[in-house]
């Protein structure tokens, strides 16, 4: 589960750090939208035209999490299927990054898919930790998972920068991020297999799991 956490977040946050420049250079999407009037009217104008600017498209991932994460958490509590949802979320990463790296399809659509994955996986992932470790080790487990997650968040921006310098494009970076999705998918399948051996507690609703 911790390795899945590393690969998943490393395929999201380091990518969003570069995606605004990617959208500007590859698709020619402007950084700002022309707006006039009061400050409040400009805020609403930019909100309604989110999909027409590079930073706005980048923000889709976080915006989706901000709006839909509570509903995803409620879904996980109600239906369980934590390992299955992590498989689905990891699977979504792969074509999303490949589409942006290898095609000219307008990036709003793969970014919406990334936003869906970013809603789904964390909602299933973090509540899994208390189900995997003894109650007196939950804090330690959260701390270690976060520490290892941040190792990935430190390394992959560096790898992305090196790939960008070597290739002068974002294609190799997109393949790297898609590869992280493949690795996450493998770890999610291994997690589900291990959970099945232990009785399938991760797939049951919260009340049943506890």
pLDDT for 42-95, tens place per residue? 666 666 667 888 988 999 999 999 999 999 999 999 999 999 999 999 999 999
Displacement of CA 24 from its chain's centroid (Å): 21
Phi-psi region of 28 (alpha: psi -120 to 50; beta: other; left: phi over 0): left
Q: Give me the pLDDT at residue 112, please.
A: 95
What is the per-residue pLDDT across 119-151, written as a single tens digit (0 to 9) for each?
A: 999 999 999 999 999 999 999 999 999 999 999
Look up the domain containing 122 and give its range. Answer: 2-209
* Residues 204, 132: Cα–Cα separation, whole Å: 13
Whether residue 40 has pLDDT greater than 60: yes
**Residue closest to 171 by CA, chosen among 100, 78, 93:** 100
Tokens of 79: 């239906």
Phi-psi region of 168 (alpha: psi -120 to 50; beta: other; left: phi over 0): left
Angle at 93 between CA 64 and CA 209, to 5 degrees: 75
If one counts the domains in the chain, the total is: 1
Count of C-beta atoms within a 10 Å radius of residue 26: 16
CATH code at 95? 1.20.1250.20
């Amino acid at each position: 589960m911790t390795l899945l956490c590393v690969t998943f977040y490393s395929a999201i946050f380091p990518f969003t750090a570069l995606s605004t420049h990617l959208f500007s250079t590859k698709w020619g999407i402007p950084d700002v939208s022309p707006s006039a009037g009061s400050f409040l009217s400009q805020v609403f104008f930019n909100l309604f035209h989110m999909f027409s600017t590079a930073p706005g498209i980048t923000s889709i991932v976080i915006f989706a999490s901000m709006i839909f994460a509570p509903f995803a958490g409620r879904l996980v509590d109600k239906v369980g299927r934590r390992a299955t949802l992590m498989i689905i979320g990891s699977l979504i990463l792969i074509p999303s990054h490949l589409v942006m790296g290898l095609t000219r399809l307008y990036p709003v659509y793969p970014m919406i898919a990334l936003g869906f994955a970013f809603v789904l996986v964390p909602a299933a992932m973090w509540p899994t930790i208390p189900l995997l470790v003894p109650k007196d080790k939950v804090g330690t487990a959260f701390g270690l998972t976060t520490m290892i997650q941040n190792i990935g968040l430190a390394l992959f921006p560096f790898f992305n920068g090196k790939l960008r310098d070597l290739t002068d494009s974002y294609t190799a970076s997109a393949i790297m991020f898609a590869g992280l999705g493949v690795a996450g998918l493998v770890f999610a399948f291994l997690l589900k297999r291990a959970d099945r051996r232990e009785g399938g507690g991760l797939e049951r609703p919260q009340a049943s799991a506890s």
